[in-house]
Structure 1
């Protein structure tokens, strides 16, 4: 009787159980792939063929032209499991995650929800790097802490520099520990009071506030301390307004779930 072919799904489940994401494994460099990947014979895994792969971009924090500059065949290596390829059962590894031992230890002992303080090291349009107090120096980035733009403030901003500047001291809450990128993702907003919780005005109320932004489809007006609403261009009836101008508006609609306020000029 012919034995039934192994169930690919069951095989994948076994591989996922044997190599959970984030687990640190050791092995031996067995060769190099066509795209510059490094093939690894993992300790305790199938000895017939290499079943671990380190993609080129996960090999090292250092710049290199050829992976042979970083590792050699027969070299022992330590890497973190990043996933398992569904089709082949191949284990995807990150040697970069474990390359800087001090950084890896720091990331592993940091916990989501921790409150951390640091100094803004660099501000970019995609986010802010922070040198966290007590962190080891990062091998590639200006700081181990990173703040995504939506996590900077509840207020509307055009650029992260509208919220923070290099050298500024900041305190935030850890929301993600990312060994893949080697960074601690921090939210300043998590420790700030939500301005919508302080919004006392309701539908039909007339309030006055500064114009915070002029866009082709209308203008945004601050309502209360920090919440903002939109006056659509069609409701302005040709009225010209500029940023900073005080404008009296009537609240037409408040959608707390979508965090949107629709305004109209006061009668």
Structure 2
């Protein structure tokens, strides 16, 4: 998604290619992402494409207006005068490295939140995994809060990783 400010912006749009790496300047910040100006053309970096970080609370915590950034062109639609960009595509996916190194291992984590279906445990600075209720203890716990509290330090086993859905399955069972 983007806006062309003038004919020069349209010319830039027509030269963009998917996968191309470009430099631009953050021109505005919205709750759903930020717009980046590349030679008069303003393309969107959706919030999901800003960072691999597990949590961030505001787009303005990642980029600021006037900041020079390097982006990857994800998509170009000349007819609709739109393009989408990514900042995170420049960096390796930390989940791939995590999966390669940690799958099947027993590792430390911190309980982020306890929910009806189990508990989310931060196992890396960029993501957390779910310990489903049936994996909380030797005997199935009726209430996850009876086993864990927010902030608890725990040792978990990484029993599953779904790369497509970006989900990590954990177990507290010995």
Q: TM-score, normalised by structure 1?
A: 0.50
Rounded Cα–Cα distance in structure 2 between residues aligned with 1:224 and 1:157? 11
Q: Please say if residues 195 and 227 of structure 1, whose CA atoms lie closer than 8 Å, have aligned partners that are also in contact.
A: no
Flag the structure with larger Rg: 1
Rounded Cα–Cα distance in structure 2 between residues aligned with 1:130 and 1:259? 27
Matched ranges for 1:84-233 at <5 A: 100-132=6-38, 135-136=39-40, 144-157=42-55, 159-161=57-59, 164-167=62-65, 168-199=67-98, 200-203=101-104, 205-212=105-112, 217-224=117-124, 226-233=126-133
RMSD: 3.1
Q: 1:258 to 1:163 in 2, by over 3 A?
A: same
Q: Which runs of 5+ in 1 are unaligned?
A: 1-60, 62-96, 139-143
User: What is the number of equivalent residue pairs in this alignment?
Assistant: 160
Which one has the bigger strand percentage? 2
Q: Please say if residues 51 and 88 of structure 2, whose CA atoms lie closer than 8 Å, have aligned partners that are also in contact.
A: yes
Shift of 1:176: 1.2
Q: Please say if residues 47 and 59 of structure 2, whose CA atoms lie closer than 8 Å, have aligned partners that are also in contact.
A: no
2:171 counterpart of 1:264: yes
- Among 148, 162, 169, the alignment partner of 1:255 is 162
Q: Which runs of 5+ in 2 are unaligned?
A: 137-143
Rounded Cα–Cα distance in structure 1 between residues aligned with 2:27 and 2:173? 45
